[in-house]
């Protein structure tokens, strides 16, 4: 969970965006390290539903930074066999950021290496609500619901459950 960039910058008397820039540099190191270690799926919680309540300038900066990151990393992901996916309500993203997300997903969909899963406009409660909506629409939604059936309707369907969760700010809440 990418968290604490603003506090990191504040502790150094820097603007919040400096913390976000430092965070994006750390993302590359984490992705490369995870791939070297043979980690099959890495999910980075990059932008939560709650983040939409931040100042407009900061949100705009983050969305531009997302587009720039994807623009600069698609070729690297392709070269290293990394498959890019997202969880969350990416349709809420500004058009340009959304287009880069779709491009990264489509251009890496055939890759068979590590899955890099980015949580964007994501909230756990929102994911559960969307899964319930999908379940209601499913033709096989009658009868007793199992965990496996429910799991098939989550954003992470087809991916293993997390083995380890790290919150970069050091906070202990999820």
Digit-coded pLDDT (tens) for 96-151: 999 999 999 999 999 999 999 999 999 999 999 999 998 888 776 667 888 888 99
Q: What number of other Cβ atoms are within 10 A of residue 129's Cβ?
A: 11
pLDDT band (50, 70, 90) for residue 28: confident
Tell me which residues are annotated as active site.
Answer: 3, 51
pLDDT band (50, 70, 90) for residue 2: low
Q: Indicate whether 83 pLDDT > 70.
A: yes
- Among 31-40, 51-60, 101-110, 161-170, the range scoring the smallest mean pLDDT is 161-170
**Burial label, 59 (beta-carbon count in 10 A; 0-12, 13-18, 19+):** middle
Digit-coded pLDDT (tens) for 44-81: 988 999 999 999 998 999 999 999 999 999 999 999 99
SS3 of residue 56 by DSSP:
helix
pLDDT band (50, 70, 90) for residue 168: low
Q: Indicate whether 94 pLDDT > 70.
A: yes
């Amino acid at each position: 969970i990418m968290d604490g960039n603003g506090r990191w910058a504040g502790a150094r008397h820097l603007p919040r965006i400096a913390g976000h820039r430092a965070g994006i540099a750390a993302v590359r190191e984490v992705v490369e390290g995870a791939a070297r270690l043979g980690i099959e799926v890495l999910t980075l919680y990059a932008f939560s539903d709650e983040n939409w309540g931040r100042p407009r300038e900061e949100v705009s900066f983050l969305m531009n930074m997302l587009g720039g990151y994807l623009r600069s990393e698609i070729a690297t992901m392709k070269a290293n066999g990394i498959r890019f996916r997202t969880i969350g309500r990416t349709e809420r993203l500004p058009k340009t950021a959304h287009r880069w997300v779709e491009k990264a997903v489509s251009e890496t969909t055939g890759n068979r290496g590590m899955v890099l899963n980015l949580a964007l406009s994501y909230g756990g409660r929102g994911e559960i609500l969307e899964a319930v909506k999908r379940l209601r629409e499913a033709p096989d939604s009658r009868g007793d619901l199992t965990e496996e059936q429910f799991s098939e309707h989550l954003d992470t369907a087809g991916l293993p459950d997390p083995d380890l969760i790290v919150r970069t700010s050091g906070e202990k809440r999820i």
